[in-house]
A and B are shown apart, each in its own frame.
Chain A
């Protein structure tokens, strides 16, 4: 079976070459590490995934990349945290306006094991994600990273921003306490006052002209299926473009008139 060429890892992460005495002659049990490698090779032989992974992981990033460039991936981790805590909340939540929704959230908050903690993580995670997404956008804006050839990355990003805010809006109704109910009524009415699609959007959100029994399950479906699905797909597209085009260099970096590599060869 052809072996993959070694990835360009830094020295400390590379496996040490075997000492002469250590050589095994193919006999004896396979070590766990080698078994793992065999499994990876087996999968790779069938899927050819590894070129994609190498393309993703061992691409170069320009020098001078600083901490501001971590804001995008931090946003993604906040989203993943929302996804995980959201799954646990969905195990207990019941989207039933006529009795059930509020009680199930009360159960999560007061009785379920670690329920209040998971709910609090989901709630505060939303704020953290919103802050991070705005910071990430500010870094992209001030670094001019949305310019050619990264315009499409920016457009997908704006869509992600809108979807993230929509997550905040739809999620706010779900606990179905006074605060969330009245804030959402006002929010939907604001939509209804908008131009062109405003009234239709409001009708769609309410599931009819009135705020009714199906409104809550509609918000729930939008909040936990529709928008997260769209966000996952768009993050995929966003990251594909980032990898394909390369992460932009800090704007203050200039190419040396004589590239360093040439000098070292002289």
Chain B
């Protein structure tokens, strides 16, 4: 069991995550877009399009325009998620001494790391709670939800809470051990999980998230880009030359319009009136 949780599950989960997301995205991208779905108004030049997409990714611009309150929570959640993941990478690798890189003394870095980790972790928990609250108490949104909508939020909340819990005195795992364990995983030479129940719980939940991710709507991480790219495609320019590649089989599929013959009547009328 230990071996399974510590040495098999992480690899399995990560492979499912990566393979699943890639499979889904490539499935979308393999399907043709038979017609331009340009949603006007779109910027004409490439720079404008890139700016538009970035403002969507970094600021959730559209949501801001439509629903300011929801935007606060959604944006805060994604920002704190990003911060926490970044914090994990540096904090665990440098054992909280990461801020020494920018000129702090080690003691300061330790305090700063704990402080920032705590803040972002708390913000993440708060924003998840707010989203959950909205999902339950906003009638429209509740009816739009299916059980897995709650599950997404609850799973993330559970990960966050176990993460924060590790800050409690007595529950704190040795970061040394965590780092050694992660290093083992990365070098394909896994060692047993550190002996800290909370950490193990956190770790298992993260594995569950990775396993579940490609099947859930959390793939919006990639899907939103696929959609945006369709919506900012340049509209067709006329005349369309004969050598242009057809957009899909639908374009090629043959049909001959049954055109009524050019009528003599109307020509005659023209002849009269010219």
User: Are A and B a genuine interacting pair, yes or no?
Assistant: no
Q: Which residues of B contact A (CB under 8 A)?
A: none
- A interface residues (Cβ-Cβ under 8 A, vs B): none
